[in-house]
Structure 1
Amino acid sequence: MRVIARLRATVSEIALDLLSPDLVILDEFQRFKDLLDAPAETDVPGAKLAQRMFNQEKAKILMLSATPYKMYTLHDDEDGDDHYRDFIKTVEFLAGPPRAVRVESQLKTMGRAMERLTSDPAETALAAEAKDAVESELRRVMCRTERTAFTTEADAMVKLRHLPEPQVTPQDLRSWVTLDRVAKHVGSRDALEYWRSSPYPLNLMERDSYMLRKNFHDRVDMGDPTLARTLSSASGLLDWRVIRDYRKLDPGNAKLRSLEEDVFKSGAADVLWLPPSLSYYRPSGPFSHTGLGSFTKRLVFSAWTVVPKAISTLLSYEADRRSREKELASAALTSSASDPRRYDDQLRAVAPLTLKITEDRPMSMPTWSLTYPFAELTRVTDPLAVARHVRRRDLPQQEVLDIAEQGVRSLLAELLPESLATVDDLGAEDPRWYWAAPMLLDRRRDPAAADALARAMREFLWGLPKGLLEGEEHAGQAASSRAARLHLDETQRLPDNLGRPPVDLPRRMAELGVGGFGTSAMRALTRIAGDHSAEEVKDRSVAAFSIARALRLLFNRPEVVPVVRSSGDRAYWRDALQHALDGGLQSVLDEFVHVLVESEGLSNKDPAERVAGVSMAVIEALGLRSTVNEIETFEVDGPRIYSHQHRMSTHFAARYGGRRAADDKTFHRESSVRRAFNSPFRPFVLASTSVGQEGLDFHPYSHAVVHWNLPSNPVDMEQREGRVHRYKGHAVRKNIAEDFGDLAVLGESEDPWQGAFDAAVVQSTAQGISELVPYWLHTTPGGATVERYIPAIPFSREVGHQRRLTRTVGVYRLAFGQPRQDDFISVVADRHEELAWMKVDLSPPGTQSSRRDPAADER
């Protein structure tokens, strides 16, 4: 190892000698502070290398970090951080000790003036001069643009919202009594925080995650009779019979009860994805629920590892229960005896959109047609083109289908003799027309292109990775791929003995064109790539088919089928198509691929690379499988306690972090969860510990943060909220769509989202606003904001802590560069509005906030 380390160091030294850069960029440099603090003469290899780089004569160094020093610290900070010491050392490194001394002196002058809030004009003028001097000195070496300066209310779009008030029920109190008795008996610490934060902690805690749970389990294994007596009359423990029979389960915790009510009142349990921010026609069916228009995914932060597991498990169960209740109501069943399926059976449910074969004959051609990117249907049924044609984007779904049907009829008129569709003596209607007609149109338009696409799709199906085959009816990769190839062959073979076309053929084709998985995916990819060579169009069609296939597997999942299935005898593929039509799948995919182009770093790639990268990202987001969480229930028989392990799936809500294993499988799972949450599809709630608090993006489809447990530091609170307050975040896109949606949809830009942001940039540039607008900040009256939720239990210590913390969040920037910031804030907090002009502004020259106190200019 020493030899390898020395070789690495030597290679680094040689590279540094040979390179002659004009600019060196160090990102997140706060992670390497030990290198910055090292003395000039040091024997530490990394520090020596850093000093050589810093001291190059020609190269300029750009150091990037949002947190080069901790913005706010308490005098008894448990991590030992000290804002003042940290800040001054950073300035010394960047500007040199003499300038650091001047900055330190001027900051002290500012601090004294703020503490006294004197009315003496001379002292006020002196403080203003000190502020200007600090800004001037620091702008030589650093800049920092605060988002608060560019919103009218100085709130950076962050608003405190309220969940339904957490209500502690008598059952909750009985649960506390049980937990307290158990904790005291097994010799564990006060369990109040466990009870306040998590429902059913004894059932949901991992066995080795908490001392309380470990001690409890040890006593269970020992057969502790006293513990058995306690549990025999206990309240607040999970009863598996309730879950098994899909009965209503008490949330068991005031905070979870509040979150559950808030999430499900939106109608989110009845849909598979969030409504699009920029729709091309009115949402229908379950997507027309009034609560869904303003709904966004919830990001929950807790200090306890059991909380993410509890939230994801119990919210997912409630979503399942509601779907099951809807399913029973639709089937007009009155008791479980009529339909014996139970919760345990969910994992063994049959997938209704599977590609089935019988005696080497494909039996699921309508399902197959959902995924095929028929070229002519894609062209004539684009809902965006319909909106542009009628100059409106608020048409009802049926009117959009009417217009799309006209385009289909014009194509069919060229394909079919008029008599063939009207003569009754041709026998019964032939349902094969539903999938054959779109293919006949493609072959008629360009036979060579249709054949080339078929060959490319066959190659794709042969080489399909095994990981993408999960959810198929056939367990083996070969069998699954063979079923798909047989359906492809049937599409290419096209029967020559077709009977009479169905009367509703144009309408069904219009529906397939507007909402089909393959056609929608093809149009979405075309919007970000444009029209190019036949080879690129062929590859794009295969990419669209792969996305459509992932969507088909989504609709196959056991937790999804009850959500989508309608009452009556309509085939499930029709239900899936109707869900896509109701939810504006085209608008959803257009928005998603636009977001992915930049988030995946594909903006400057050629069209083929862009399409490949985006399609893979969409497939990965759709590929998140339900996670199975282990829970434990207890049965008391005399002096003995028997524990039973059960499995519960999570899909509507998911957890991030909190798993004890740190292997590759866990890492892959965490990455998959993050990708799925950053998509419009489920999960709609993500619960995390502090592991998700720094350096991760969760903003593409979330602008709501729930502070389950409040942090001690206001910077930590803002850091959490920063996860959903980023470039082109969900709240920003909603507001852009509100202000520029009509202009974008009815304009000429291939990608309407690019058109919307281009229009917003023109407006902000004309007004001379910071470049933070519109990409990071864009507000509109009554529009979306970054939502801050704090479910504090009434009359608890959390209420007082919430008041102190939210008060400090609005004020702590005044304590910039001051020692013992918490003491300083206690003095100036009540007068912070009068002192607002004293906030140090380090934004680049020419972009300073226009909201500076006019009185300061007079002084």
Structure 2
Amino acid sequence: MRPKDFQEATARRIVEIFEKEKQNRVLLADEVGLGKTIVARAVVGKVSDWHRKMGDKHFKVVYICSNINIANQNSKKLGIRDEDCLRVSESRLSMQHLKIYQNQGRDHSFQQLIPLTPATSFSMTGGCGNQEERALMFVLLRRLPAFRELSGFSDFMRYYELKNWDYFVNLYEGQVVSCDENGSGYISIMMAALNQAIPNGMIREIQAVCHKAAPEDRWRSRDMINSLRRIFAQISLDKLEPDLVIMDEFQRFRDLIAPADDETGMLSKKFLQDSATKVLLLSATPYKPYSTLEEIGQNESFDHYREFMQVMDFLLYDARKNAEFKSVWRDFSHSLSELNTERLTVLYANKSNAENALYGSICRTERFRAGMIDASKAAEIEIGRNDILSFAEMQRFLNEYNIGNVPVDYVKSAPYLLSFMESYKLKENIVKQYKARPNAQLLKHYKTMLLRKIDLNTYKKVDSGNARLQYLMDTVFDGGRSCMEKLLWLPPSKPYYKTARVFRVGSPLSKVLVFSSWEMVPRMIASMLSYEAERLNCVKINENKENKPKRYFAADSLEADSKRKRRIVVVRLRDYAEKVVSYPCKKLGELYDPLEYLGRGLDSVQKDVAKKVRALLGQIKIKYGLSEGRGSAKDYFNVMYHLFDGFEGEMPSVIPHNAEAVFTNIAIASPAVCAYRLFKNDEQADTLAENFVSLFNKTESMDILDVLYGKSDDFYYEAVLRYCAEGNLQAVLDEWAYVLGEKGDDLLESMQGSFLGTASVQVDTYESFSGQSAKPRMRNHFAVGYFNARLDDKNVQRTESIRLAFNSPFRPFVLATTSIGQEGLDFHLYCRKICHWNLPSNPVDLEQREGRINRYLCLAIRQSIAQKYGSIAFHTDVWDEMFHAASEAEKQDLSDLVPFWCLPDDGSNAVKIERIVPMYPLSKDRLVYERLVKVLTLYRLTLGQPRQEELLDAIHAAELDDEALDKLFINLSPYFRNGQACGKKVEALI
């Protein structure tokens, strides 16, 4: 992706600071959602060009980010090659020496980018690492004379790890030898480094433990292996020698600039205490931009002003520059604290000096905010009887066992608390007390603490039991009007023809992102909404008495012995039925050009394409002497493959009676044909189409199509093709490709990774809690939870898959997350509705949350663009041409923020981002929300000032007009400071 004009201006400014102003530490603090990674990529390109001109042969960049998911998300944006991207198991700092020398062989590229993550790369507490880490160390250490013939050394390094040890040893032996053979001299260099780094005393101690091999020496082994890990980590650091260090989401590991004597200290001493290393910090919030008096009172060590000064001390490592800045900043702070409308001239002058001082090491661009957010759904909600019962019954239950009080916020956040409150101390205490003194009658009497497995199994309507959950369900399902439970993907923002049936909705649809303070909430929302979506379809199926009743669980029996049984899924797209859907028939694809039929109804499009299909069928009937008859999927495929596209093989026996309608839908919307029009490549089209086969073979998908078209196992593929046509699949894929911004194999890989399988979470029910059955699992497909999990390959891949799927047009349609999704991750491509389940205490957290969906090419912008410019004359690329038209009409003298991030609000009822805040009546929610919004508009005026809350009160009391306030905002945007546009003069944008 090429940087936009304001991003290019920022990249040039950063390089200017590095090269001309000789300042080696720069903070890029662009507001959340404005593409700091794109700016960083441009900086990498410019600095590498500069170094190449100076004669450098190898330009190395170390990219440090807070977690593997962010590394995966940003790697392509930053230009990191796939071979340099990390797996969790191989991301340890103690293993990076291998990666470094693998990329320093004979054919290495000029640029090398090495990603590191603190949670794994620097994770060297008291442990002995993972198996891969120890295997690589073993492969190298056994080459040293001291360990070469040492009996028991393999067992020592294995550290009681029996599974896969030999596999990993052989794997890394091959990599080490291959790396050495590429001309890097890897083995000899590592041997020299290890001989110098490992003390003789440690060698003797390891030899003694290996000879003794007693069980009591296990803890001694642990300490020695940990010491070896530190040695390997230090060697990696010594060999990195980066030309540029990029620290992404810097606020997540701010302690690196004032480190302790541990593994993070190793990193800091290597890169960050050396002022000769160029360091680019990326963070919208490098210090907490705003702190309330309450927050400061609760934690005296927490202080926004102290954090701000700590960051500035790090940036301004030159003592003279640091002293000058602090003098200028004191003058500005003093003028601001004595805010007086009669002395504004002095204040403005001091503000200008402070702004210039910051601009020497900080760049920051902010978006236009007015009019982007629709806050009409930040409202009080209606509580029901079960909201009260949830609290009363749980409290009575706790009183019965003398456990204490249930937190009111728990009850407000989730229904059926004992079903979803896993890993909570309160739940653990309840389970312990109940097992010691069970009271089955009391448990059975209370209906709001636990789900009933028998109700779930028969798809009984389960009361939401919680006003917030009911509000969310009403928002998502809209009383059945949204048809969301029958959708497998969202309708396109710009349909090529008028969508039909369930895809014909009144207002543009959106996914929903939910933020909560409690980990039980994502688990609960994912389970309850997925169950409700599934129930709405299965109830319809069960109304047909000819069908065998569908049950939620695998077996009708709810006894404990049925807990391991899984649903038996009989896939319907298989053999030739699968081929009909997944074969990219070029001849049929030629019969439909989307631009030719823009704006027409589907019936009209089908009628016109059917004429072309009829003529084509007439030709092959005459040519091959075929007649119509009762055909099968095999006949459809053979007609396409052999007769239409001319490949040799078995001839069809007949032309199926319904061939005209089926081939018409294939021409318009077959997954394979649509993919071929997108990729212009058979193999890529076929590969993507196979993902659609898997999608339509899911039980939930088959249920939807059975409700819409009736059940037909033999002709299910016809229903699939009909659904694709009604869902405007070509427009869906083209829009998706546009926002991903990729081509070829990269695009295919991104799309493939977005088809999420059905997962499940374990929940407690009345039956399991009372000991009648095992804990069942509830399926998550319509909605999913994104929350903290173990940091291993499997869970990292799962969370990464969730992020990719939510950023696709396909399910899940609801993502519920804790603060883990609050910073650094994008969820904006198909979501413009954000629900604050629990309000944060700080306005910056509210802004960070909403920044997840208020980003480049976000759904609200695309739906607005399609609404305003969807009827222009198109020639080749619908989305490129719509945004070009919008830029011509809307941008004027503004930056590229318009139209890619916002649009001037001209009263055209453009689509907006919806802020959903379900507030309980007569609670503190309303006051908290109003305070957050009030502070959100002006907190930037108090950046880097002590006691910000009091300062905001003074600013409000001064009653400054908009022009005066505008002059007090600090402008650190290179684009706007250069006079290319005035960023504060746009009154209202969406």
TM-score, normalised to structure 2, is 0.68
8 Å Cα contact 1:654/1:687 also seen in 2: yes
Equivalent residue number for residue 442 of structure 2: 229
State which of 537, 540, 553 in structure 2 corresponds to 1:344: 553
Task: Return the letter of the residue paired with 2:551.
Answer: R
Please show how residues 184-203 of structure 1 align to structure 2 within 5 Å: 184-186=399-401, 187-203=403-419
Structure 2: which 5+ residue stretches go unaligned?
1-225, 556-565
Q: Distance in 2 between matches of 1:428 and 1:88?
A: 82
Equivalent residue number for residue 466 of structure 1: none
Equivalent residue number for residue 83 of structure 1: 304
Q: Distance in 2 between matches of 1:300 and 1:5?
A: 41
Residues 125 and 428 from structure 1, CA distance in 2 versus in 1: closer, same or farther, beyond 3 angstroms? closer
Task: Return the letter of the residue paired with 1:396.
Answer: G
* Identity over aligned pairs, percent: 30
Q: Distance in 1 between matches of 2:390 and 2:249?
A: 46
Match status 1:439 vs 2:641: yes
Give the match's secondary structure for 2:914.
Answer: strand
8 Å Cα contact 1:298/1:706 also seen in 2: yes
Give the match's secondary structure for 1:194.
Answer: helix
Match status 1:327 vs 2:548: no
Please show how residues 423-438 of structure 1 align to structure 2 within 5 Å: 428=629, 430=631, 433-438=635-640
Deviations 1:685-738 (A, max 9, x none): 011111111121111111221110111111111111111122222222222323
State which of 61, 65, 69 in structure 1 corresponds to 2:283: 65
Match status 1:517 vs 2:671: yes
CA offset at residue 129 of structure 1? 1.4
Match status 1:240 vs 2:453: yes
Match status 1:700 vs 2:829: yes
Task: Return the letter of the residue paired with 1:241.
Answer: I
Give the match's secondary structure for 2:870.
Answer: helix
Residues 70 and 625 from structure 1, CA distance in 2 versus in 1: closer, same or farther, beyond 3 angstroms? same
Please show how residues 509-588 of structure 1 align to structure 2 within 5 Å: 509-526=663-680, 540-565=681-706, 566-568=708-710, 571-588=715-732
CA offset at residue 233 of structure 1? 4.9
Task: Return the letter of the residue paired with 1:351.
Answer: V
8 Å Cα contact 2:379/2:917 also seen in 1: no
Please show how residues 586-735 of structure 1 align to structure 2 within 5 Å: 586-596=730-740, 598=741, 603=742, 610-634=743-767, 645-659=775-789, 661-735=790-864
CA offset at residue 163 of structure 1? 6.7
Q: Distance in 2 between matches of 1:585 and 1:728?
A: 20
Equivalent residue number for residue 768 of structure 1: 893
State which of 369, 373, 381 in structure 1 corresponds to 2:592: 381
CA offset at residue 113 of structure 1? 5.5
8 Å Cα contact 1:629/1:647 also seen in 2: yes
Residues 165 and 285 from structure 1, CA distance in 2 versus in 1: closer, same or farther, beyond 3 angstroms? farther
Give the match's secondary structure for 1:654.
Answer: strand
CA offset at residue 258 of structure 1? 0.6
Give the match's secondary structure for 1:768.
Answer: coil
Give the match's secondary structure for 1:586.
Answer: helix
Give the match's secondary structure for 2:533.
Answer: helix
CA offset at residue 574 of structure 1? 1.7
Match status 1:755 vs 2:891: no
Task: Return the letter of the residue paired with 1:296.
Answer: S
8 Å Cα contact 2:758/2:779 also seen in 1: no
Give the match's secondary structure for 1:791.
Answer: strand
Match status 1:815 vs 2:942: yes
Match status 1:365 vs 2:576: yes
Residues 635 and 94 from structure 1, CA distance in 2 versus in 1: closer, same or farther, beyond 3 angstroms? closer
Q: Distance in 1 between matches of 2:325 and 2:410?
A: 46
Match status 1:399 vs 2:612: no
Residues 503 and 418 from structure 1, CA distance in 2 versus in 1: closer, same or farther, beyond 3 angstroms? farther
Deviations 1:753-784 (A, max 9, x none): 3333344445566x121232333334563222
8 Å Cα contact 1:679/1:701 also seen in 2: yes
Equivalent residue number for residue 275 of structure 2: 54
**Is the deviation greater in 228-237 or in 577-586?**
228-237
8 Å Cα contact 1:369/1:435 also seen in 2: yes
Task: Return the letter of the residue paired with 2:581.
Answer: L
8 Å Cα contact 1:236/1:252 also seen in 2: no
Deviations 1:59-99 (A, max 9, x none): x6543332222211234346743221222333333344555
Equivalent residue number for residue 651 of structure 2: 494
Equivalent residue number for residue 260 of structure 1: 473
Task: Return the letter of the residue paired with 2:386.
Answer: Q
Equivalent residue number for residue 168 of structure 1: 383
8 Å Cα contact 2:642/2:650 also seen in 1: no
Residues 8 and 789 from structure 1, CA distance in 2 versus in 1: closer, same or farther, beyond 3 angstroms? same
Task: Return the letter of the residue paired with 2:928.
Answer: H
8 Å Cα contact 1:83/1:817 also seen in 2: yes
8 Å Cα contact 2:513/2:835 also seen in 1: yes
Give the match's secondary structure for 1:774.
Answer: helix
Match status 1:785 vs 2:912: yes
Residues 164 and 144 from structure 1, CA distance in 2 versus in 1: closer, same or farther, beyond 3 angstroms? closer
CA offset at residue 31 of structure 1? 5.1
Task: Return the letter of the residue paired with 1:787.
Answer: E
8 Å Cα contact 2:453/2:767 also seen in 1: no
Structure 1: which 5+ residue stretches go unaligned?
356-363, 388-392, 445-449, 452-491, 527-539, 604-609, 855-859
Residues 7 and 73 from structure 1, CA distance in 2 versus in 1: closer, same or farther, beyond 3 angstroms? same
CA offset at residue 345 of structure 1? 4.3
Residues 142 and 349 from structure 1, CA distance in 2 versus in 1: closer, same or farther, beyond 3 angstroms? same
Task: Return the letter of the residue paired with 2:573.
Answer: T
8 Å Cα contact 1:312/1:653 also seen in 2: yes
Q: Distance in 1 between matches of 2:761 and 2:823?
A: 27
8 Å Cα contact 1:313/1:629 also seen in 2: no
8 Å Cα contact 1:635/1:642 also seen in 2: yes
CA offset at residue 190 of structure 1? 3.5
CA offset at residue 221 of structure 1? 1.4
Residues 832 and 592 from structure 1, CA distance in 2 versus in 1: closer, same or farther, beyond 3 angstroms? farther
Q: Distance in 2 between matches of 1:240 and 1:31?
A: 42
Q: Distance in 2 between matches of 1:114 and 1:251?
A: 51
Give the match's secondary structure for 1:300.
Answer: strand
State which of 342, 350, 375 in structure 2 corresponds to 1:130: 350
Deviations 1:264-320 (A, max 9, x none): 012211211111112101110100022xx4221111111111111111111111111
Q: Distance in 2 between matches of 1:372 and 1:853?
A: 54
Match status 1:737 vs 2:946: no
8 Å Cα contact 1:386/1:404 also seen in 2: no
Give the match's secondary structure for 1:219.
Answer: helix
Deviations 1:105-140 (A, max 9, x none): 5555555665665342xx111112122222222222
CA offset at residue 4 of structure 1? 5.2
Aligned residue pairs total 731
CA offset at residue 652 of structure 1? 0.7
CA offset at residue 180 of structure 1? 1.1
Residues 653 and 295 from structure 1, CA distance in 2 versus in 1: closer, same or farther, beyond 3 angstroms? same
Equivalent residue number for residue 373 of structure 2: 158
CA offset at residue 808 of structure 1? 1.4
State which of 502, 507, 516 in structure 2 corresponds to 1:286: 502
RMSD: 3.3
Residues 635 and 589 from structure 1, CA distance in 2 versus in 1: closer, same or farther, beyond 3 angstroms? closer
